[in-house]
Structure 1
Amino acid sequence: MTGLELLEAWYEKVWVQADIEAVAEFFDVEALASGIMTDFAAHLEDMQALVPAVLQAVREVSVSFEDSMEQDDRVWARVTLHAKKAHDMTPIHIPGQVMIRIKNGKIVEAHNNFDFISYFEQMGNLPQDSIALMLAGEVLC
């Protein structure tokens, strides 16, 4: 299995099929995932708690890979997560980028950069055009 195939399988099994047990199949016990929250790197146990927490808010998750590149033990991909909000089934789309490093067939390092502002705007947790508002000097409370 190539690194890209491993990354695609991770998203399919863990996020699309919501198989929380599969987190340990793909994510090494020593692995760290950064970029999810500032100054926080997720370990295996954190990912096993994070995935179900996110999946409570969304349904019908799918992932599209826009671009990808693989070199040696690293894979970079630009992806879009597609889902529907759990409470009203409105479609949402979250663009992002991920880089993983693989060792012995598992993810040992992951760097994530997803548009969480857009996600929270689409979920109704932030006002639309939050970035524009903040650039204009607005303070969101």
Structure 2
Amino acid sequence: MGKKEILEEWYRRVWREGELEAIDELFTPDTRAAGLIPEMRMGPTEFRELVPMFLELVDSPEFTLDKVMEDGDWAAALLSVNATVSATGKPVFATGQLFARFEGDTMVETYNCFDFMGFFEQLDLLPEQSMALCLTGQAIG
């Protein structure tokens, strides 16, 4: 299986279907993901906690790998997510990036970036234009 297919499987099985057992198939026990939560490298245990929280907030998330580049043991992907807000049915869209190193069919280290600010704005958990407010020096809240 190619790296793109492994990434597609990761997003489908884990993040869309909530199949937490797939984490142990696609990660090693020592795999750590950086970038999702500042100053925290997440392993399989943390993903088993994070994924259900995400899936409580949105329904029917669709992950699309918009661009994927592979180089040796590494793959980089730009991704987009379309879903609906569980509480309101309102559509939500976000983008992210992933950089992963593989050993065979398993991810052994990943670096992530996801537009959480825009995502949480669309869920009405942050005020609209939060980034612009912060850039002007205004505190949120």
Please say if 1:136 is aligned against 2:136.
Answer: yes
Q: State how far apart, in whole Å, the 2-side matches of 1:113 and 1:47 are.
A: 15
Query: CA offsets, 1:74-102, max 9 Å, x none?
Result: 11000001111111111101111011111
Equivalent residue number for residue 80 of structure 1: 80
Q: State how far apart, in whole Å, the 2-side matches of 1:45 and 1:3 are.
A: 23
**Residue correspondence of structure 1 range 20-31 to structure 2 within 5 A:** 20-31=20-31
Q: State how far apart, in whole Å, the 2-side matches of 1:94 and 1:27 are.
A: 24
Q: Report deviation, 1:104.
A: 3.0
Give every structure 1 segment of 4 or more consecutive aligned residues whose post-TM-superposition deviation is greater than 3 Å: none
Q: State how far apart, in whole Å, the 1-side matches of 2:65 and 2:104 are.
A: 24
Structure 1 runs not aligned, ≥5 long: none
Query: CA offsets, 1:12-60, max 9 Å, x none?
Result: 1111222111111111111000111110000111111111111111110
Query: CA offsets, 1:85-130, max 9 Å, x none?
Result: 1111111011110111111311111111001110110111111111
Please say if 1:98 is aligned against 2:98.
Answer: yes
**Residue correspondence of structure 1 range 23-102 to structure 2 within 5 A:** 23-102=23-102
Please say if 1:16 is aligned against 2:39.
Answer: no
Give me the CA root mean square deviation: 0.9
Counting matched residue pairs gives 141
Q: State how far apart, in whole Å, the 1-side matches of 2:126 and 2:108 are.
A: 33
